[in-house]
């Protein structure tokens, strides 16, 4: 292949796409355009920027960067992951039907059931790891299939290629939340997704210091609608927050490599630990979808859940962690440990949790990039409290 015309690699695009030196000063880092408005030369004559809700150069750079990393034609960023998901849902109207995974990030069914259902969009929830149940749930009015893979906290995978073939046949959009794997380990658009969403709050930003969300598009109509929603509804990402993500993505490739290495080591440690009853991690050969994980992802990532046996055991252990921090969220450089039943999945209710298999003894870790020996030693001493 001619090296000069081939697409640069992932890490190169993460550092350079949209992150070209500033044309005026040569500043190697994209400037933060902290401005609400732009001076116009005369009536109707300006440099493409009129008002910062509509467009901002820092934001434009980030949108170019993230579109490139996911292999989309363009992207639009929003004030949080939830704002991004809400924005993409404006493409659907009253009477439209959506088939969604039955084990999504808790905020998503909350948005669907308690906000969007009120506007007449209908939702059905199925186990998307079973392609046939996705196909069976699609009706004449279905416009979108919404999938998270792997799921939180059970780490169940959905076969994106197989689901995208069903969607194509039925003329339904496939939207994938790629937050857990990041574009470094999983490329849903290459597997047939029509749109990809992220909470950039997590691995893309990577430093637990800002919220954000993005929708990556594959068709001009999607870009047009999302640009309109930025202007019309206004839940845009601020220039400073855009800059944080631009800085964060520069190290995405090396961070994900280290997250993955540490994730595998922590999973291996947990599997052999006497107090741990079960480990959920797609990189373990006994994960029911280990083969799919190897095909669909280029790494296994840093998200691991495990079973301590009871709420009491989980509590005893979580009280004792020192290197790991007990808290919600994930994807930062620091190891975060959480208790799904009382934190991320409290709103699902006891019955809902039982249906999808989330127990009171389940603990979830987002393995950070500290020295892995320190993470393992900390988990070991905390588990000894059980
Ligand atoms: C955190 C998260 C969201 C929501 O993102 P916010 O930035 O918190 O609004 C959506 N999907 C997944 C998978 C997440 O982890």
Q: How far apart are CA 76 and CA 63, in angstroms?
A: 6
**Pocket of ligand 1 contains residue 344 by CB under 6 Å:** no
Spot the catalytic one: 33, 105, 125, 281: 105
pLDDT value at 37 more than 60: yes
Q: Is residue 380 annotated as part of the catalytic site, yes or no? A: no
Q: Is residue 177 annotated as part of the catalytic site, yes or no? A: yes
- Closest ligand 1 atom number to CA of residue 108: 10
Provide mean pLDDT across the span 67-82.
Answer: 98
Q: What is the pLDDT of residues 265-282, one digit of tens each?
A: 999 999 999 999 999 999
Provide mean pLDDT across the span 344-369.
Answer: 93
Domains of the chain listed by start with CATH number: 10-249 (3.40.640.10), 252-383 (3.90.1150.10)
Q: Look up residue 44 and give its two tokens.
A: 């109707």
Query: In the chain, helix, strand, coil percent, each to 5?
Result: 40, 15, 45
Q: How far apart are CA 207 and CA 333, in angstroms?
A: 6
Please report the DSSP string for 220-276 in residue order.
HHHHHHHHHHHHHH--BPPHHHHHHHHHHHTTHHHHHHHHHHHHHHHHHHHHH-TT-
Block residue for tokens 């998307």:
128
* Pocket test residue of 188, 202, 204 for ligand 1, highest count of atoms within 8 A of CB: 202
Q: What is the pLDDT of residues 237-260, one digit of tens each?
A: 999 999 999 999 999 999 999 999
Return the number of other C-beta atoms located less than 10 Å from residue 25's C-beta: 8
Q: State in Å: Cα 2 to ligand 1 middle.
A: 40
Average predicted confidence (pLDDT) for the chain? 96
Q: State in Å: Cα 139 to ligand 1 middle.
A: 28
Provide mean pLDDT across the span 150-159.
Answer: 96
Q: State in Å: Cα 211 to ligand 1 middle.
A: 9
Q: Is residue 202 annotated as part of the catalytic site, yes or no? A: yes
Q: What is the pLDDT of residues 158-199, one digit of tens each?
A: 999 999 999 999 999 999 999 999 999 999 999 999 999 999
**Pocket of ligand 1 contains residue 106 by CB under 6 Å:** no
The burial class, CB within 10 Å (0-12 / 13-18 / 19+), for 123 is: middle
- Closest ligand 1 atom number to CA of residue 104: 13
Task: Tell me the pLDDT band of 3, cut-offs 50, 70 and 90.
Answer: low
Task: Tell me the pLDDT band of 1, cut-offs 50, 70 and 90.
Answer: very low
Return the number of other C-beta atoms located less than 10 Å from residue 316's C-beta: 17
Residue nearest to atom 8 of ligand 1 (CA): 81
Q: What is the pLDDT of residues 293-308, one digit of tens each?
A: 999 999 999 999 999 9
Asked if 77 and 236 touch (Cβ cutoff 8 Å), the reply is yes
Q: How far apart are CA 375 and CA 373, in angstroms?
A: 5
Q: In what order do the strands lie in the sheet with 195-199?
A: 74-78, 213-217, 195-199, 173-177, 142-148, 97-101, 122-126
Q: Is residue 53 annotated as part of the catalytic site, yes or no? A: yes
- Which pLDDT does position 348 carry in this prediction? 84
């Amino acid at each position: 292949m001619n090296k000069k015309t081939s697409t640069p690699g992932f890490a190169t695009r993460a550092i350079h796409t949209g992150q070209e030196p500033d044309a005026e000063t040569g500043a190697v880092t994209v400037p933060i355009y902290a401005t609400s408005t732009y001076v116009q030369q005369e009536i109707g004559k300006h440099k493409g920027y009129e008002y910062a809700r509509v467009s901002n150069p820092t934001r434009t750079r980030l949108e170019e960067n993230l579109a490139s990393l996911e292999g989309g034609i363009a992207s639009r960023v929003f004030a949080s992951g939830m704002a991004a998901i809400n924005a993409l849902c404006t493409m659907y109207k009253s009477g439209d039907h959506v088939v969604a995974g039955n084990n999504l990030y808790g905020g998503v069914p909350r948005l669907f059931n308690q906000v969007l259902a009120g506007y007449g969009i209908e939702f059905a929830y199925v186990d998307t790891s079973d392609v046939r149940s996705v196909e069976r749930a699609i009706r004449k009015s279905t416009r979108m299939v919404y999938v998270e893979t792997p799921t939180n906290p059970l780490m169940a995978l959905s076969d994106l290629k197989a689901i995208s073939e069903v969607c194509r046949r039925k003329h339904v959009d496939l939207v994938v939340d790629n937050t857990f794997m990041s574009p470094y380990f999983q490329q849903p658009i290459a597997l047939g997704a029509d749109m990809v969403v992220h909470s950039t709050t997590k691995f893309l930003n990577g430093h637990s210091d800002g919220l954000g969300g993005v929708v990556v598009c594959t068709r001009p109509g999607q870009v047009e609608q999302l640009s309109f929603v930025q202007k019309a509804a206004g839940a845009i990402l601020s220039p400073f927050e855009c800059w944080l993500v631009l800085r964060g993505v520069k190290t995405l490739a090396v961070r994900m490599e280290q997250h993955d290495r540490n994730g595998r080591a922590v999973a291996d440690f947990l599997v052999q630990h006497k107090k741990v009853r079960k480990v959920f991690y797609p990189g373990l050969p006994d994960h029911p979808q280990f083969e799919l994980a190897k095909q669909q992802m280029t790494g296994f990532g840093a998200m691991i859940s495990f079973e301590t046996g009871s709420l009491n055991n989980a509590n005893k252990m979580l009280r004792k962690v020192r290197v790991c921090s007990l808290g919600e969220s994930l994807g930062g450089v620091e190891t975060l440990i959480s208790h799904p039943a009382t934190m991320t999945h409290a709103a699902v209710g006891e019955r809902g949790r039982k249906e999808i298999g989330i127990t009171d003894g389940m603990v979830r870790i987002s393995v950070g990039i500290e020295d892995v020996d320190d993470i393992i030693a900390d988990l070991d001493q905390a588990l000894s409290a059980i």
